[in-house]
């Protein structure tokens, strides 16, 4: 992609012109006329992000549907097993890694759901870059935070900043720019849904795809054929 000299001057000014907080981050997207725009504020859900030197933030890129759909069955199975919304899991993966299973942050977070080494060890992960192992542990950890805090906002804040940070701020989202932007980005991709008072039942069936038996999950009882009740 070629960017005009003026655009690069703008970026240079944002990066080195004035002192910026350590959590500074630059956002990039194209406007309706195809021009590349740079800003220190996100104006588009599909923008790319670039971490400024010294920032704890990491960059992610929108994933193509083809790349994203590679992990659908793994996400659906883990989400159903732990009664977590699959769309929430997908949103976390999008923001954490852009659906790149080899992603690694400057702080050492690994894989699709950016597991820290301690979290990976806690949930028995052998290979954090293996999509199935990473998602299984990431969803289990996310579920533990949902159970602990009782709502998605605080669970997401704890996923990003750690439960200790949420607890220290009186069970509230910590006043960290990174954490607040993280929570907003995930919620913009997957808005919270009302929780039903009734317990959801998840049904597991199998579909033959290209000669292989692929598991499918639904909260609607199958009209015919064998099925397994997970929850």
Annotated catalytic residue 96: yes
Cβ(97)–Cβ(89) below 8 Å: no
| Among 101, 26, 32, CA closest to 58 | 26
| Among 171, 168, 103, 166, CA closest to 138 | 103
* Tokens encoding 202: 């998840």
Quick one: 154 exposed, middle or buried, by C-beta within 10 A (0-12, 13-18, 19+)?
A: buried
Calpha distance 132→40 (Å, rounded): 35
Set 77, 96, 178, 181: catalytic member: 96
DSSP secondary structure string, 194-208? PPPSSPP--EEEEEE
DSSP secondary structure string, 107-155? T--BTTTTB-HHHHHHTT-S-TTSHHHHHHHHHHHHHHHHHHHSSHHHH
Which backbone phi and psi does 53 adopt, to 5 degrees? Answer: -50, 130
**How far is residue 58 from each of residues 43, 52, 178, measured CA to CA in Å?**
18, 9, 10
Active site residues: 96
């Amino acid at each position: 992609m070629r960017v005009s000299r003026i655009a690069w001057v703008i970026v240079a000014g944002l990066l080195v012109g004035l002192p910026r907080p350590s959590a500074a981050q630059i956002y990039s997207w194209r406007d309706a006329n195809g021009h590349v725009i740079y800003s220190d504020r996100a104006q588009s859900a599909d923008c790319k992000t670039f971490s400024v030197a010294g920032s704890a933030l990491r960059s992610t890129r929108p994933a193509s549907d083809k790349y994203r759909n590679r992990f659908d069955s793994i996400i659906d199975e883990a989400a159903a097993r732990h009664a977590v919304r699959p769309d929430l899991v997908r949103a976390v993966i999008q923001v954490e890694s852009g659906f790149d299973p080899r992603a690694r942050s400057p702080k050492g977070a690994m894989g699709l759901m950016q597991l820290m080494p301690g979290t990976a060890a806690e949930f028995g992960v052998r290979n954090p870059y293996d999509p199935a192992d990473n998602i299984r542990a990431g969803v289990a950890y996310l579920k533990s935070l949902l159970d602990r805090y009782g709502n998605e906002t605080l669970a997401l804040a704890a996923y990003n900043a750690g439960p200790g940070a949420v607890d220290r701020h009186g069970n509230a989202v910590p006043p960290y720019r990174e954490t607040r932007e993280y929570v907003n980005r995930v919620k913009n991709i997957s808005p919270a849904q009302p929780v039903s008072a009734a317990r959801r039942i998840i049904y597991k069936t199998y579909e033959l795809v290209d000669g292989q038996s692929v598991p499918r999950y639904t909260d609607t009882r199958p009209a015919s054929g064998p099925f397994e009740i997970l929850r």
